[in-house]
Amino acid sequence: MLITRLKDKETLLSLAGGKKVFIINCHGCREVYFPLEEAAELQKELEASGSVTGSITTDYICNPENMKLRLEKHKDEIGTADAVLVLSCGVGVQTISEYLEDKPVYAACDTYPQPGFQGVTPLQYDCDQCGECYLNLTGGICPITACSKSLVNGQCGGSKNGKCEVDSEMECGWERIYRRLAQIGRLDLLKCPTQVRNFATDKEVAE
């Protein structure tokens, strides 16, 4: 099981407040608990301030081909939005982010693991269910799974010709992140405060 939980209000407002957003809700696979009510409430609030250009509510947004068709249908609404707000697990956010490569794509949820079956997502992207989703700081590319050291404060000195020191077939995750942030005009995010990982989060959820 996975649990996706809405990030706190303050974070969500800093992402979506005063911006035109397009919302994508993933009701997910059967293995994901999705915060239906809270998500609906958030959307209502954002709509009341007149800043939602459109929305999709569906399942398996991590299926790239399926998702591509749906996004095509909403091309204009997405085009007029400043950002796309995705309510899903980390895999879904990364799928959307890869497809809408010149649009800021933000994760509205954190993803936590729960004991049990982990879902049947077509895993082209990986979510480590770390419970403190970094995708909003890293252009929708996960530093936990795309970097072999899971570094959250930038590139180490081990990248050569764009490849990771551990695996010469693997692209350096932080070079990908840098390129993507440059593409969406958000290199300023690299100046965010020092990130210190919190490995206690899954326990907090269980409590």
Partner 1 sequence: MKITEAFERGEFVVTAEVGPPKGFHIEHMLEEAKTYLSGITAVNVTDNQSSVMRLGSLATCKALKDEGLTPIFQMTCRDRNRIALESDLLSAALFGIENLLLLTGDHTKLGDHPQAKPVFDLDSVSLIHAVKQLESGVDLGGNELVGEPPKFAKGAVVSPCSDSVDVQLAKMERKVAAGAEYFQTQAVYEPEKFIQFMEKAKQFGKPVQLGIVIPKSVGMCRYMNENVAGIHVPEEMIEELKADKEKTKAGITGVEIAARVIRECKPYCQGVHIMAMGWESKVPELLRQAGI
Binding site for partner 1 (CB under 8 A): 148-162, 165-166, 172, 174-175, 178, 187, 190-191, 193-197, 199
- CB of residue 170 vs partner 1: minimum separation in angstroms? 11
5/197 with CB nearer partner 1: 197
Q: Which of 125, 84, 130 is nearest to 108 (CA)?
A: 84
Distance from C-alpha of 144 to C-alpha of 53, rounded to nearest angstrom: 31
17/154 with CB nearer partner 1: 154
From the DSSP assignment, how many helices (H) and strands (E) are in the chain? 8, 7
* Residue 7, phi then psi, degrees to nearest 5: -65, 165
- CB of residue 106 vs partner 1: minimum separation in angstroms? 21
- CB of residue 176 vs partner 1: minimum separation in angstroms? 10
12/172 with CB nearer partner 1: 172
- The two three-digit tokens of residue 69, written as one number: 């068709």
Rounded to 5°, the CA angle 186-13-173 comes to 35
- CB of residue 179 vs partner 1: minimum separation in angstroms? 9
